[in-house]
Amino acid sequence: MALLKILKFGDPLLRKTSRPVEEITPRILTLLDDMKDTMRAAEGCGLAAVQVGVLRRVAVIEVEEGKVIELINPKIIAYAGEQEDQEGCLSNPGNYGITKRPKHVTVRATDRHGKEFEITGSDLLARAICHECDHLDGKLYTDVQIRTVKP
């Protein structure tokens, strides 16, 4: 696997909307694997393909060690409640803000085998799903930030 370069805030690509994955090719599978390794090496809990310069609707999340969630063409289909907490981003290292996100989120996506699935997450997982889906739409956590937190 390869470690990919993570784009930093200010890169115009981070504001672009990612395109759907039409077919799961060996290239998409390699991207998923490389993104997982990159996310772990950077000590993050989520990474969207756009953050590594690929405008495809692909994200990986790991809020529970050893349990990586791979999302291809994710779409949030339900949300409930509200939470305010600290949020950061691998594209904005060392900076954090307080954001308001749903407490519970259900996302529908496709897995690496082409099977559609749904997963519901609460708390940190809900926050990570929202954060990564926002990236795929060209949005950053600072767009929903309530206030800055000093590191």
Pair of tokens at residue 141? 């956590």
Domain assignment of residue 106, given as a range: 12-149
| CATH number where 125 lies | 3.90.45.10
> What pLDDT sits at residue 146?
85
Nearest-CA neighbor of 103 among 87, 80, 130? 80
Q: In what order do the strands lie in the sheet with 116-122?
A: 46-48, 58-64, 67-80, 104-110, 116-122
Domain annotation covers residue 73: yes
Is the pLDDT at 150 greater than 80? The verdict is no
Domain annotation covers residue 1: no
CA 34 to chain CA centroid, nearest Å: 14
CA distance 132 to 46: 7
91-135 pLDDT per residue, tens: 999 999 999 999 999 999 999 999 999 999 999 999 999 999 999
Residue 95 C-beta-side C-alpha neighbours within 13 Å: 13
Pair of tokens at residue 96? 């954090």
1-58 pLDDT per residue, tens: 799 999 999 999 999 999 999 999 999 999 999 999 999 999 999 999 999 999 999 9
Domain annotation covers residue 37: yes
Domain annotation covers residue 5: no
Domain annotation covers residue 102: yes
Domain annotation covers residue 142: yes
- Mean pLDDT value across the chain: 96
pTM (2 d.p.): 0.95
Pair of tokens at residue 29? 């599978």
CA distances 23 to 77, 106, 121, 134, Å, are 22, 23, 26, 22
Domain annotation covers residue 7: no
Question: What's the domain count of the chain?
Answer: 1
Q: Which residues are catalytic?
A: 132
Strand partners, 72: 58, 110
Q: What percent of the chain has pLDDT over 70?
A: 99
Domain annotation covers residue 2: no
